Structure 1
Amino acid sequence: MKRSSSAAIGLLLALLGAQSHADEADGVDTRPYISIGGSYVFEDATRDSEGGEGYWLGVGKSFNRFWGLEFSGFRNDFDASRAGGPEWQEQGAEVSALYYYARGESFAPYFSLGAGWVETEEQTSGADASSPFGAAGLGFFKSFALGSTDLGLRGDVRYRWLDADDIAGVSPFEEAVVRLGLVVPLGSRTAPTEAPVSAPAPAKASDADGDGVPDGRDTCPDTASGTTVDANGCPPPLPPATDFEPVSFPFDESGLTDYAKAILDRAAVRMRERLAATPNLLVQLSGHTDWIGTEGYNQALSERRAAAVRDYLVGKGVDGDRVRSFAYGETRPVDSNETEDGRARNRRVELQLSEG
């Protein structure tokens, strides 16, 4: 076995041994993976041959939301383009840095920058060369599930510069390489933490006016239906202008959950009371996201979230002419984006009353 193939296999085994269990960072899959597939090299005119067809095997790992490292070994064969013309064979190894510029949970486009070593042989004459090369390109990973197994597709195109001047009469090769293959992650994803199971609700005590306070401790037993009450069943003083619970959203969604609607139902009652009592008061809504995705996508997502909250409040009787919506994308986190809990708190719309 030639030196480049041995080096490639050694590098692959080293990375495989570095981590065999699942790991996640920034909400993206960072498990090590194996890739295998076919390739096609658009031949440099200096070869005077057909394009090269071959295969490759690689292993890689993402280290965070943006960066990953990959080692691969490859072989390509170039048939003669004419009778008696040259035929080429090459095999080599490459290490590449991957930069993921718009990473999602199932689709991850990337730029790549790599370098390696290749052994090239012109089989007709037997001339050969061992040469370094550099490569740059772009590609994508697309993950999916097949039953209980995680898999992925990936493709890329790269432009490489190969110095083969040990072969007489040959100038450096500049060639485009297209690769398509299958991705197999190693290990299983970290199982999400299950929410604790709630105990059955106790039987409800008698509540004649339906305000949620049992008759036994309701000091205002005839409260009108729909009125907000305190722990004693009486209407409390109007809350401070900023005393509203934020509305949270699932990842990459702008639709309201049942819990979010319950928050807004309560908020709409208080807003109508405050707006009726204070003519110059306005409702201000601010939409936010976590940092997964591009800045432009997150800005648009925060706008959709703020619009969903506005439409719901107006549907509940809040004066739409006195509602102002703002969107900040990922720029104003309230917690760390390094953890799932922190990202969940950042996916929100804040509600506030302020004087116009």
Structure 2
Amino acid sequence: MKTLSAVLMLTTMATLAFCQEDEHIYDGVDYRWYWNSNLGIVVPDDDIRLNEANVIDLRVGKHFNENWGMEFEVMRDEYDFDIDFDLKHYSAAFNVMYTNHDPLWKPYFLAGVGGIYADSRFPETQDTDLIVNFAVGGSWYFTGNGVRIRAEARLRLDTNNSDLPGQDGFGDGQFTIGILVPIGD
């Protein structure tokens, strides 16, 4: 019985020590670099009336003061239009974020600029254009050491006007969910 009590006491003390060690992460700004991977859908604007596309993006970022942060992002999406049209977009963007670190869910606003490359198989065309992103989102703590779940709703604007389906200077909605993992201690 003494062994069981000792094990319970050590487990409790280790749990309290772990919680106290990570307590500062939940209270304020985590200034470590992080990587973030997201999956979701792109809902095309009303002009193109197409099926949703699958999207994946990868980001690396860092907060540099109490509210402001930056991210570098690469993204890929793909439309099939139910006719094997095979339109893909690839983009790279630089984002600036304003985050409220007071609540546990850390809401943020994001604005970004970059380039988007469109590649379609039929008709075979490739084009590169300017892209502008505006988003709102939030992140919630998932495990210790600052790992968070991240959800985002985004408006993606580009300057493409090629008269192809899905390529007319559009403003698509993008909805993603992913995981944010700090790098280092």
When the two structures are superposed, what TM-score results if normalisation uses the length of structure 1? 0.41
Distance in 2, Cα, partners of 1:37 & 1:133? 19
Distance in 2, Cα, partners of 1:64 & 1:27? 11
Identify the match of residue 163 of structure 1 among 155, 159, 173.
159
User: Does the CA contact (< 8 Å) of 2:28 and 2:101 recur in 1?
Assistant: no
- 1:72, distance to aligned residue in structure 2 (A): 0.7
User: Does the CA contact (< 8 Å) of 1:78 and 1:87 recur in 2?
Assistant: yes
User: Does the CA contact (< 8 Å) of 1:94 and 1:115 recur in 2?
Assistant: yes
Report the CA distance shift for 1:174/1:90 in structure 2 as closer, same or farther (over 3 A).
same
Distance in 2, Cα, partners of 1:150 & 1:120? 36
Distance in 2, Cα, partners of 1:80 & 1:111? 31
- 1:51, distance to aligned residue in structure 2 (A): 1.1
Distance in 2, Cα, partners of 1:69 & 1:113? 10
Q: For the pair shown, which has the larger CA radius of gyration, 1 or 2?
A: 1
Is residue 2:140 matched to residue 1:139? no
Name the structure 1 match of 2:119. 121
- 1:175, distance to aligned residue in structure 2 (A): 0.7
- 1:47, distance to aligned residue in structure 2 (A): 4.1
User: Does the CA contact (< 8 Å) of 1:95 and 1:115 recur in 2?
Assistant: yes
Task: Report the count of equivalent residues.
Answer: 158
What are the Cα deviations for residues 251-292 of structure 1, in whole angstroms up to 9, with x where unaligned? xxxxxxxxxxxxxxxxxxxxxxxxxxxxxxxxxxxxxxxxxx
Gaps of at least 5 residues in structure 1 are 1-23, 189-356
User: Does the CA contact (< 8 Å) of 1:106 and 1:144 recur in 2?
Assistant: no
What are the Cα deviations for residues 57-85 of structure 1, in whole angstroms up to 9, with x where unaligned? 1010011111000111010011113x47x
What are the Cα deviations for residues 277-308 of structure 1, in whole angstroms up to 9, with x where unaligned? xxxxxxxxxxxxxxxxxxxxxxxxxxxxxxxx
Name the structure 2 match of 1:250. none
SS in structure 2 at match of 1:49: coil
Distance in 2, Cα, partners of 1:94 & 1:183? 18
**More relative contact order, 1 or 2 (CA 8 Å, 6+ apart):** 2
SS in structure 1 at match of 2:102: coil
Name the structure 1 match of 2:39. 38
Name the structure 1 match of 2:95. 96
Residues 191-270 of structure 1 aligned to structure 2 (within 5 Å): none
Tell me which amino acid in the other structure corresponds to 1:43: P
- 1:136, distance to aligned residue in structure 2 (A): 0.8
- 1:124, distance to aligned residue in structure 2 (A): 1.5
Distance in 2, Cα, partners of 1:87 & 1:59? 28
Gaps of at least 5 residues in structure 2 are 1-24
Identify the match of residue 173 of structure 1 among 157, 170, 175.
170
User: Does the CA contact (< 8 Å) of 1:143 and 1:151 recur in 2?
Assistant: yes
Distance in 2, Cα, partners of 1:142 & 1:73? 22
- 1:107, distance to aligned residue in structure 2 (A): 2.6
Comparing both structures, which one devotes a greater share of its residues to helix? 1
Tell me which amino acid in the other structure corresponds to 1:175: D
SS in structure 1 at match of 2:174: strand
Name the structure 2 match of 1:150. 146
When the two structures are superposed, what TM-score results if normalisation uses the length of structure 2? 0.77
The CA RMSD over aligned residues, in Å, is: 2.1
Name the structure 1 match of 2:77. 76
SS in structure 2 at match of 1:117: strand
- 1:45, distance to aligned residue in structure 2 (A): 4.2
Distance in 1, Cα, partners of 2:43 & 2:28? 38
What are the Cα deviations for residues 19-47 of structure 1, in whole angstroms up to 9, with x where unaligned? xxxxx9x9421111000120211013444
- 1:128, distance to aligned residue in structure 2 (A): 1.9
Tell me which amino acid in the other structure corresponds to 1:178: F
Comparing both structures, which one devotes a greater share of its residues to strand? 2
SS in structure 2 at match of 1:107: coil
State the percentage of identical aligned residues. 23
- 1:87, distance to aligned residue in structure 2 (A): 3.2
Tell me which amino acid in the other structure corresponds to 2:106: A
